[in-house]
Amino acid sequence: MADTEQPQLYLITPPEVELSRFPEVLARVLDAQEIACVRLALASHDEDVICRAADACREVTHARDVALVVERHVMLVERLGLDGVHLVDGARTVRHARKALGEDAIIGAFCGTSRHDGMNAGEAGADYVSFGPVGQTHLGTGDVVDPEVFTWWSQVIELPVVAEGALSAQQIESLAQTTDFFGIGEEIWSADDPVAALAALTAALR
């Protein structure tokens, strides 16, 4: 990514959403800032829960011409009229997802802290890869991605890259020259005012 290009914002939903409230909150966030994509990233594997959340979020995102992808569930993409899928197992299922969804679908791959996995995902046909967590989190293995991964990627690889996971305003400022997207989720949804939280978190980008 060229130094003159501004990273875009990529929203990640909370692991649980309250359908009586979340679509309205999502709409306010999308109206407040330009968002490139929203990822439905529910913890639940209950198909009915995922479908109802997807329907509610799709109404909000598509009305604003924002792409909506679902985490993991390749077979729900076409059925629910979504724009693609975000895979969480590196490069392992990228080829399968591409074959199932065709060339027009968005396919992203989370590759943890491994640029090797990222390169493999790109070669397998991913539209973007994401690395994380950037900051310390109680989830996962406790590893954080080395900022050097983003520097190297921006210099060598053309495929868009997402930085996500426990982001701070300082980290966003420091990575702004070397990443294409910031994946932002729990950083704002746990705040009383997600719109204000997103504005504060991304102030360095404006």
Examine residue 1 and state whether it is found in any structural domain, yes or no.
no
- The confidence band for 2, taking pLDDT boundaries of 50, 70 and 90, is very low
Examine residue 3 and state whether it is found in any structural domain, yes or no.
no
Rg, the chain, Cα only: 16
- Are 91 and 124 contacting, i.e. CB atoms less than 8 angstroms apart? yes
Domain that holds residue 121: 8-205
d(CA 179, CA 15): 24
Domains identified in the chain, total number: 1
Examine residue 129 and state whether it is found in any structural domain, yes or no.
yes
**Residue 182 belongs to a domain with what CATH number?**
3.20.20.70
Examine residue 116 and state whether it is found in any structural domain, yes or no.
yes
How large a percentage of the chain has pLDDT more than 70?
96
Indicate if the pLDDT at residue 61 is higher than 90.
Answer: yes
User: 103-113, pLDDT tens digit by residue?
Assistant: 999 999 999 99
Q: Which DSSP string do the residues of 33-63 spell out, in sequence order? A: S-EEEEEE--S---HHHHHHHHHHHHHHHHH
Examine residue 162 and state whether it is found in any structural domain, yes or no.
yes
Examine residue 27 and state whether it is found in any structural domain, yes or no.
yes
Examine residue 61 and state whether it is found in any structural domain, yes or no.
yes
Mean confidence (pLDDT) of the chain: 95
Question: DSSP 3-state assignment of 183?
Answer: strand
Indicate if the pLDDT at residue 140 is higher than 70.
Answer: no
Give the residue-averaged pLDDT of 9-17. 97
For 106, residues 6+ apart whose C-beta sits below 8 A from its C-beta are: 37, 67, 69, 83, 84, 85, 127, 128
